[in-house]
Amino acid sequence: MSWEALRLSSKSPSEVYAVLGPHGVEELLRDARSVCWREHPQDTRTVSGVKKHLTEAFERNMAVWESIKKPTPEAFFADLLPHAADGHIRQALVLTWMMMPRAGGRDFADSGKIVRFLFERMLANWDEDDVIFTRGFTAKKKPAKAASAKLKTGKKKKPKSGR
């Protein structure tokens, strides 16, 4: 564990949140995406190719995270491959766990669900960005409540019927 992580691990979730902000986890996931983009050979670099590589790294780290029986610093970094993207993904998972409120009982499994939600949202936004810069920009509004409803229930919100 780095000295920075050790220093933050002694802080309360609200203190970690105050230092790194609500965007801290997504920023680490974006760092993993950026590393995968830069490391992919330029002559074969495509969004879909890099997305495949990034998703493989993400799923590899999620498998390790989901196998943790007792959350400890040693378990958080077990079986970590020496790739920068893997490090960013694992740090995103750890940061999520560290920022989850301890009051009321936090559930370790929720940390993986939160990171997966943020990862999938990042990939969807990346697809939209790719369309903007390859096919042109068209402004469209999306309902803001759909994403938050999916996170709360784990399911997409069903629209109300007019009957």
pLDDT for 21-69, tens place per residue?
889 999 999 999 999 999 999 999 999 999 999 999 999 999 999 999 9
What are the tens digits of pLDDT across the range 127-154? 999 999 999 888 776 655 655 555 665 5
**Please, is 50 exposed, middle or buried when counting C-beta atoms within 10 Å of its C-beta (0-12, 13-18, 19+)?**
buried
| Domain boundary assignment for the chain | 10-153
Distance of CA 124 to the CA centre of its chain: 12
The pLDDT, as a whole number, for residue 1 is: 41
- pTM of the full predicted structure? 0.78
Task: Let me know: does 19 contact 91? Beta carbons within 8 Å.
Answer: no
Query: Strand, helix or coil at 44?
Result: helix
Task: Let me know: does 71 contact 108? Beta carbons within 8 Å.
Answer: yes
